[in-house]
Structure formats: C-alpha cells, structure tokens
Amino acid sequence: MYYRVWIRIDRPNHVILNFLYHGELALPKNLKYIYILHSPSTLIQNRYNFIKNNKNKFENLTFIAVSDFVMENALFYVEDRPLKLIHHGIDTNRITHKQNYKSEKVIKLVTASALEEWKGVQEIIYAICHPTLFGSFTLDIYGRGTFENQLIKIISENNAGSIIKINGWINNIEEVYCNYDIYCQMSQGEAFGLSLFEAMASGLPSIVFDSPPFDKLIPSDCILKINPLLANQLVDALKLLSTEKERKNLGEKARNFVKEYYSTAKMVNNYMDLICDQ
C-alpha cells in the first residue's frame, strides 16, 4: 500500500530498489527500475533465488553490482537482464584525515564489521597474540554479531583482555579511524567492504586477504594483500608496518587512491549516466 501511494504522489521516471523481497512486488510493473545488489549470492542465496524467480514480473529492470565479485556471482540469477557495475562512493570530506603516523609505545589496530565468523576478526586476534608481537599491538573492534561470544572466548584464552577491546557500534566511526595506526579487514567474500574504504580514506594503512572482492577492487601498491592460505602472513604484514615510514607511505597512497577512484561524485555521475541513457 505504501509503495503505491508513494509512486502515485511522486510519479518518478526511475525507481531505485535495494530489495525485492520486502513488498516491492506490489510496485507498478511498467516503470524503469534500478536494483542495486549490495551482497553477493554466496551470502544470501535464498534471496537471489527469489530474484531469479520474480525478476521477469518487471518490464524494465536493470541490476547494479557494487563490485566485480557481486557481478560474477549474480550472472546466474539475473540471466538476460541488464547487469552493470557501479562501485560505492566514499565522501572523504566527512572522514577525519590522519595527520600523524608516529605511534606511541604500542601500535594501535582497528577493525569494524559485523562480528560473524566469516568476517575473520579472529585472525587479527591470533596474529597480535603471536609470541613475536604480543604486547607491541593493541586492537579495538567495532561491531556486534553472533560470533562475539566466541571472540571473547578467544581473547580470554590468549590472556589478551588488556590489549583487545570489543566496543560495539558507534555512530561516528569515520571520525575515529585517524586515532589508530593500522586497519585490518580479514574477511573473504565481501560485497565491497565499505568500512575498509572509509579507513583508507582517512589515511590508514590497511591489510586485507588477497581474495575477492579486494583482489580486484584495490591495487597492491596502496594496500597490503596477504595470502589467506599461508600461515603467519598477517604477523609478517604487521611487522612490516611497524615502522612509521611504511605506515605513512601506504596510508597516504590509500587516501589518494580512494579520493580519485571511489568518490561519491564519481558514483553519482555513474548513476546519472545510467538513468539518462535509459
């Protein structure tokens, strides 16, 4: 009912959808729709099955993938429907820029994500609890999720309560990144990894696994990519970034890269071009 009233009042030429399974099937079928795929099918396969079974009810429906990884996984489900790639954009003006790369007695790590096992936060915990690193790094974790209790257990088992803190979610994370020295994102199978790009935009040197989607989203000269199949890769990467010179070099490259290739202006222009071409 809400959708029908809104369409009648606004009379849009195009409608952007973020979902198709929360009542959107009630929308008029003859409008031009742009459906943004924010997650890969590997994470929400049942929802993609729903998309596959219902997409042809709309006369004009274009799909947008936010990364190559999402696009590759979506091909089976969208079939002959138009599928285009438009990355997310980062508003660097609202993100506090890191100015000082000199660390204090310890190097401060940060990560922000839903606390689920596949997000890989436990990999960061294991790394800074390695005998060669313990006591030289701290870790602040921002997020909540079903894997939180297990993370707390891992922290306790490694006697790391004094160096690792789970903070929950905060509303101003973009203002906080600059207080840290390194950002770690050890997930595999993300759609895009927005918090990573925000951290990079703040000027934080960052570490990721060299796997989708980061293998294609970010070149290796402005981020540290490590092999998820090799032991102690994260330990070695953290040792490499233990010097101020390395952190500053990588952090500044990261910020400049995000500003040039993942700006909100570029994202908006891509959507406007798509709309104008339809």
Average pLDDT over residues 258-275: 96
Calpha distance 125→138 (Å, rounded): 9
pLDDT for the residue 278: 79
pLDDT for the residue 2: 58
Residue 10 has pLDDT above 80, yes or no: no
> What is the per-residue pLDDT across 224-249, written as a single tens digit (0 to 9) for each?
999 999 989 999 999 999 999 999 99
Calpha distance 223→205 (Å, rounded): 7
pTM beyond 0.75: the answer is yes
Percentage of the residues of the chain whose pLDDT score is greater than 70: 99
Sheet holding 60-65, edge to edge: 14-17, 32-37, 60-65, 83-85
> What is the per-residue pLDDT across 171-200, written as a single tens digit (0 to 9) for each?
999 999 999 999 999 999 999 999 999 999
The domains located in the chain, with CATH, are: 2-89+263-277 (3.40.50), 92-261 (3.40.50.2000)
Mutual angle of helices 121-128 and 233-240, in 10-degree steps: 70
The answer to whether residues 34 and 52 touch, using CB atoms and an 8 Å cutoff, is: no
> What is the per-residue pLDDT across 71-104, written as a single tens digit (0 to 9) for each?
999 999 999 999 999 999 999 999 999 999 998 7
Least confident of 11-20, 66-75, 136-145, 234-243: 11-20
Calpha distance 93→212 (Å, rounded): 28
pLDDT grade, residue 149 (50/70/90)? very high
Compute CA distances 241 → 159, 196, 219, 263, whole Å: 24, 17, 18, 26
